[in-house]
A and B are shown apart, each in its own frame.
Chain A
Amino acid sequence: MDVLYFAWVRERIGVPKEKIDTVPATVMALVDELRSREARYEAAFADLSALRVAVDQELSDFDAPLDGAREVAFFPPMTGG
């Protein structure tokens, strides 16, 4: 599964994209797995209320299952327009 990061989430984690080999059951399980890796992930995921998530390019939430998901993206609230 590909995990993508945008805006300050990308800057804090230090990469725009990475592959993970595990299959977490939910978005939250993926977040917990990433948080346990290194301080930079802990810093990026410190306040989940400041983050949004997309699963396979559709806005989703942290309880969403990842069954069959190919791409998960984390980013701050969007500021288009």
Chain B
Amino acid sequence: MDIRVQEDPFDLGVETSAFAARQKGMGAIVTFTGVVRDLDEGVLHAMEIEHYPGMTEKALQKIAEEATSRWKLGDIMIIHRHGILKAQEMIMMVATSSRHRVDAFQAAEFLMDFLKSRAPFWKKEASGTAADWVAARDEDEDALKRW
């Protein structure tokens, strides 16, 4: 299990290749990447992500352990950034591996659903001169119920 909370950017290709190279006997690798949207008619967006050092790492570890107990997985990687991010920068990624694809797909979705609402990150979005905290959506909380 490889869990990283960092301010620095990461290279999706390099991380995915390195993750794949570490797997033994796994037939499936699933990755998901969250990106800062480049929204609304040419207005460039930026994002600031705050987190709770200490609790963040524990929460991510707990979510990853839960996924490991529910699906047959080879490995899990989670990278989540904080600080200031520009439009189209990568915010976070998860990678899962399994012998067969269903486990890796479902575990990646589970990780994303819980990471959105149970890991202590808060996004503030800026567009033009205005900046505001992103409100949590009811759908995100509802998404947890399917697991």
Residues on A facing B (Cβ under 8 Å): 4, 6-8, 10, 54, 57-59, 73, 75-81
Sample of 5 A–B contacts (CB below 8 Å) = A57-B58, A77-B135, A80-B117, A81-B34, A81-B115
Q: How distant is B34 from chain A, measured CB to nearest CB, in Å?
A: 5
Q: Chain A residues with Cβ under 8 A from B34's Cβ?
A: 81
Does B117 contact A78, Cβ atoms closer than 8 Å? yes
Does A79 contact B122, Cβ atoms closer than 8 Å? yes
Alpha-carbon distance A78/B51, docked complex (angstroms): 9
Q: Answer whether A6 and B50 are a contact pair too, CB < 8 Å, given A54-B55, A79-B123.
A: yes
Does A79 contact B58, Cβ atoms closer than 8 Å? no
Interface residue count on the B side (C-beta < 8 Å): 26
Q: Chain A residues with Cβ under 8 A from B121's Cβ?
A: 78-81
B147 within 8 A of A: no
Alpha-carbon distance A77/B92, docked complex (angstroms): 19
Does B55 contact A78, Cβ atoms closer than 8 Å? no
Does B120 contact A78, Cβ atoms closer than 8 Å? yes
Does A80 contact B115, Cβ atoms closer than 8 Å? yes
Q: Answer whether A57 and B116 are a contact pair too, CB < 8 Å, given A77-B136, A81-B92.
A: no
